[in-house]
Structure 1
Amino acid sequence: MRDLENIHATWEKILVWLAGLSVLGFLATDMYLPAFAAIQADLQTPASAVSASLSLFLAGFAAAQLLWGPLSDRYGRKPVLLIGLTIFALGSLGMLWVENAATLLVLRFVQAVGVCAAAVIWQALVTDYYPSQKVNRIFATIMPLVGLSPALAPLLGSWLLVHFSWQAIFATLFAITVVLILPIFWLKPTTKARNNSQDGLTFTDLLRSKTYRGNVLIYAACSASFFAWLTGSPFILSEMGYSPAVIGLSYVPQTIAFLIGGYGCRAALQKWQGKQLLPWLLVLFAVSVIATWAAGFISHVSLVEILIPFCVMAIANGAIYPIVVAQALRPFPHANWSRRSVAEHSTTGSVLPRKSGSFLAY
C-alpha cells in the first residue's frame, strides 16, 4: 500500500479499512450481549460469570492501552497493529471451543488486549498518512459510524444468534479481523510517529494532573451507571421474556439518545462554555439514574418504561463525555495522537465499577 497522502485513487478503500479498525473494539464489546443467556445455558455457568467476561474484557482493554501506544511510537504502527490484531484473531478463534467459564474469561481478556491495538492506533494512522488538511474530514467521516457501532453490533449479534449459534458471533469477529489484517502487509512504515514520541507524555503525567483526575472521575461515575445496565440487561430482559432479537433492538434507542446528547452538546458549546453546561448535565444524569432505579419497582414494568429514563441518561452521558474528555486533555495540548488516544481511551478503565452494578441485578 503506497503512501495515503500521495494516492488519491485509493482514498475510499483506505477509509473503509480505517473505519473497520475504529469499530472493531465496539463489535468485540457489544456483539455478544444478546447471547449472554445462550452462553450461560450452554456453559451451565452462573449469570454473574458471563457478565464478568464483559468486565474482564474492559480490564484487559484498559491495561493494554498502556502498552500499545508507547510501542507504536517506538516501533511503528505497522508491526504493532499486526501483532495486536493477530492476538485478537486468535482469541476470537479460541472462543469457538469454549467449554467452561474460566476459558471464556481468559479468552475475553486476550481479545481485549489484542483489539485495543486497533482502538489506540487507528487515529494515529489517520494523522500519520493523511495530509493535515484532510485529517478533520477523515475523522468527520468515520466518527458517526463509531457512534452507531454500539447499536449495530448487538443487532448483528442477535441476527447471528437467531440463525446460527453464539459461537458464530466470534467466528464473524475472527473473519472480520482477518480481512482487516491483510491490508497491513501493504502498509508502508512511517517515521512521523517516532518523531512525535519525544513529547515525553506518560500515563504518570496524566495521573498527576488534578484536571485529568477530576474529569476522569466524572466520566467513571457516569459510565458506571450506564454500563451496569449494559452488562445486566441481557439477563434481565431474557428473564422478562424478551427474545434475543428484541434484546438486540433495545440497544438502538439508547445509542440514538447518546448521539443526540453528543451532537446537542456540540451545538450548545457554540453558545455556552463546557464548565457552564456540565453542572446542569450532571443534575440531568442524577435524575435519570434515580428514575431508572425507580422503574425497577414498578409491577410488571415494560421495556419501554425502563428505556425512557435510561435514554435520558444516555442523552446526559452523550453530552457529558465530550466535555470531560476535552477538559481532561486540555493540560496536554502537544501530545501526539497515539498518546492522546491512550489518554482518551484510558477512561475505559474507569467504567470497571459497572461490574458491581451488574451483580445487583441477580
Structure 2
Amino acid sequence: MEKSSPKHSFLILILGALTALSPFSIDMYLPAFPKMAEDLHTNIAQVSLSLSSYFVGLAIGQLFYGPLLDRFGRKKPLYFGLGLYLLATVGCLFSHSIDNLIAFRLIQALGGCAANVAAIAMVRDFFSPKESAKVFSLLVLILGVSPLLAPTAGGILSSTYGWPSIFIALFIIGLLILLLAIFYLPQGREADPSHPLQPVAIVKNYFSIFLEPQFYTYTFAGSMAFSGLFVYLAGSPTIFMEVFKVSEQVYGWIFGFLAAGFIGASQLNILLLKRFGNEKILLFSLAGLTFTGFVFALGAYNNWWGIISTIALLFVFLGFAGLANPNASALAMAPFERNAGSASALMGSLQMGIGALVSITVGVMKAQQLFPITVVFAGSALLALLILVLGSRRIPNKVEAPDSDGSLVAH
C-alpha cells in the first residue's frame, strides 16, 4: 500500500462497490416516495416502512453472514447474498402494493448486507493491519459518494421514467457488482470446515459479548444517537417534499448537502481526537444532539422553522450524530481483541435494529408533519445521553479505545 499498484487500486474499488451497495439501495429511492405513495395508493409515511424493513434485514443478516463467511470461504456466501438481492430487487420492481414492497425490501437487505460484511472481512484477508487502516479510510470516501449522488440520480430517474426505473438501476448495479466479484475478486480466506455453525455456540458467543457492561453501554448510547440518522432517512421525504413542497431534484441536492455535514463531522472527529478522549467527545456530542433536538421540536411545535432554518438545524443535528457514532463504536469495541469480529457484527446488528425500530415510528405515527418527526429526534437523543451518563457509572474497569484512523459505518 505504500506504493499502491493498479491491481491493488482495482481491488479497493471492487471492495468499495461492495460496501456501497446497501447505501445506494437506501438513498436512491428516497426522492420517489411521493410518486410511490400515489401509485401504491398509500401515503409517504407508509412508504417509509419499506425503508425500516430494509434496516431490519441489515440488522438480521449481519449476524448470519459472519459465521458463513468463515465456514464456506468469502465468495460462496457473497454470491448467494448478491443473487438473493437481485431476485428481491425484481420483486420490488413489480410490487403493486405497499405490503409487497415492504416484504421484498426486507429480503433485498438480507441479500445485500452480504456485500458489506464480505468486503470488511476481505480487507483483513488481503491487507496487513497497517494497510487495512488506510484501506478503510479509502472505503469511507467511496461510501461518501452514495448520499451525494444516489438521491440526485434517483430523483432524475423517478421524474423522467417513473419510480420502477430506480429498481432497474439497482438491479443493474447489483448485477455488475456480482460479475466483478465472480471474475475479478480474489477468493480471500479459504473455507474452514472446522468453523462451528451450531446455533447454540454462536448464540453463546454473542451473549457473552452482550453482557460486557462497556459493550452494552456504549453500543446502546451510540445506537440511539445513530438512530437519529435513520429517522432522518425515513422522515426527510415527508419534511421536504410534503411539508416544504420541494421537487425530487431539489430534495436530492438538499440530501447531498446534509450528508456532507454528517460525513464531515466524522472526519472532524479525527482532528478532535488529537486533543480530547473518546469519552469527552461522545458526551459533548450527545449533549449537543439532545439540545438541538429539543430546540428543533420546540420550534416545529410553534411553526418557527422555514426550509432554510430546517436545513440548518438538520445539518447541526446530523453533525452531532456523525461525531457521536465513531467514538461510541470505538469505546464499545475496546474490551475485545480475540473476538472483535463477532463483537463488530453484534454491534452493527444492534445499531441497525435499534435504528429500524426508531425509524418505524415515522410510519406507525403516520408522521406527515415536521413536529412528530422532531419529537422522535429529541426523544432518541435524550435517551442516548441518559444511557451514557447512567451506564458509564456501572463499568468497573473501563478499557480505553485504541487509536484509529476512523471507522467504517454503512447506513
SS of the residue 1:95 aligns to: helix
Question: What amino acid sits opposite 2:323 in the alignment?
Answer: A
SS of the residue 1:21 aligns to: helix
Q: What displacement does 1:336 show?
A: 5.5
The worse-fitting range, judged by mean Cα deviation, of 255-264 and 84-93 is 255-264
Q: What displacement does 1:130 show?
A: 3.0
Whether contact under 8 Å (1:59, 1:109) holds in the other structure is yes
| Counterpart in the other structure of 1:356 | 361
Q: d(CA) in 2 for partners of 1:197 and 1:250?
A: 47
Aligned residue runs from structure 1 range 304-343, under 5 A: 304-335=308-339, 337=341, 339=342, 341-343=344-346
Question: What amino acid sits opposite 1:231 in the alignment?
Answer: A
Change (3 A) 1:266 1:360: farther
The reply to whether residue 224 of structure 1 matches residue 227 of structure 2 is yes
Change (3 A) 1:293 1:300: closer
| Counterpart in the other structure of 2:35 | 38
Q: What displacement does 1:226 show?
A: 3.1
| Counterpart in the other structure of 1:11 | 8
Q: d(CA) in 1 for partners of 2:265 and 2:256?
A: 14
The reply to whether residue 272 of structure 1 matches residue 260 of structure 2 is no
1:84-108 CA deviation, whole Å, 9 max, x = no partner?
0111111112222111111101110
Q: 1:61 pairs with 58, 61, 65, which one? A: 58
The worse-fitting range, judged by mean Cα deviation, of 105-114 and 285-294 is 285-294
Q: d(CA) in 1 for partners of 2:317 and 2:194?
A: 38
Aligned residue runs from structure 1 range 193-204, under 5 A: 194=192, 202-204=205-207
1:27-80 CA deviation, whole Å, 9 max, x = no partner?
111111111111000111233321111111111110111111111111111000
| Counterpart in the other structure of 1:79 | 76
The reply to whether residue 249 of structure 1 matches residue 247 of structure 2 is no
Q: d(CA) in 1 for partners of 2:256 and 2:71?
A: 40
Q: d(CA) in 1 for partners of 2:343 and 2:297?
A: 35
Change (3 A) 1:250 1:55: same
Whether contact under 8 Å (1:289, 1:310) holds in the other structure is no
1:184-236 CA deviation, whole Å, 9 max, x = no partner?
32444344674996898832233112111111221232133332232122123
Q: 1:189 pairs with 187, 190, 203, which one? A: 187
1:323-360 CA deviation, whole Å, 9 max, x = no partner?
000111112122365x3541342211121212114536
Q: d(CA) in 1 for partners of 2:279 and 2:332?
A: 12
Q: d(CA) in 2 for partners of 1:127 and 1:230?
A: 31
Question: What amino acid sits opposite 2:124 in the alignment?
Answer: T
Whether contact under 8 Å (1:65, 1:120) holds in the other structure is yes
The reply to whether residue 172 of structure 1 matches residue 169 of structure 2 is yes
| Counterpart in the other structure of 2:152 | 155
Whether contact under 8 Å (1:120, 1:345) holds in the other structure is no
Q: d(CA) in 1 for partners of 2:128 and 2:269?
A: 28
The worse-fitting range, judged by mean Cα deviation, of 273-282 and 110-119 is 273-282
Q: What displacement does 1:300 show?
A: 7.5
Seq. identity, %: 26
Change (3 A) 1:195 1:330: farther
Q: Which runs of 5+ in 1 are unaligned?
A: none
Change (3 A) 1:295 1:244: farther
Whether contact under 8 Å (1:197, 1:336) holds in the other structure is no
Q: What TM-score comes out, normalization by structure 1 length?
A: 0.91
Whether contact under 8 Å (2:62, 2:348) holds in the other structure is yes
Q: Which runs of 5+ in 2 are unaligned?
A: 369-411
The reply to whether residue 52 of structure 1 matches residue 49 of structure 2 is yes
Q: d(CA) in 1 for partners of 2:296 and 2:325?
A: 20
Q: d(CA) in 1 for partners of 2:361 and 2:10?
A: 42
Q: d(CA) in 2 for partners of 1:90 and 1:10?
A: 31
Change (3 A) 1:202 1:157: farther
Question: What amino acid sits opposite 1:208 in the alignment?
Answer: L
Question: What amino acid sits opposite 1:14 in the alignment?
Answer: L
Whether contact under 8 Å (1:73, 1:194) holds in the other structure is yes
Change (3 A) 1:193 1:269: farther
Question: What amino acid sits opposite 2:325 in the alignment?
Answer: Y
Aligned residue runs from structure 1 range 23-34, under 5 A: 23-34=20-31
| Counterpart in the other structure of 2:403 | none
Question: What amino acid sits opposite 2:72 in the alignment?
Answer: Y
The worse-fitting range, judged by mean Cα deviation, of 193-202 and 244-253 is 193-202
Q: d(CA) in 2 for partners of 1:169 and 1:331?
A: 42
Whether contact under 8 Å (1:21, 1:122) holds in the other structure is yes
Q: d(CA) in 1 for partners of 2:50 and 2:171?
A: 18
SS of the residue 1:84 aligns to: helix
The worse-fitting range, judged by mean Cα deviation, of 216-225 and 37-46 is 216-225
Question: What amino acid sits opposite 2:307 in the alignment?
Answer: L
1:122-181 CA deviation, whole Å, 9 max, x = no partner?
011111123445322322222112134223221221121122111111111110111111
| Counterpart in the other structure of 2:115 | 118
Alignment coverage as a number of residue pairs: 356
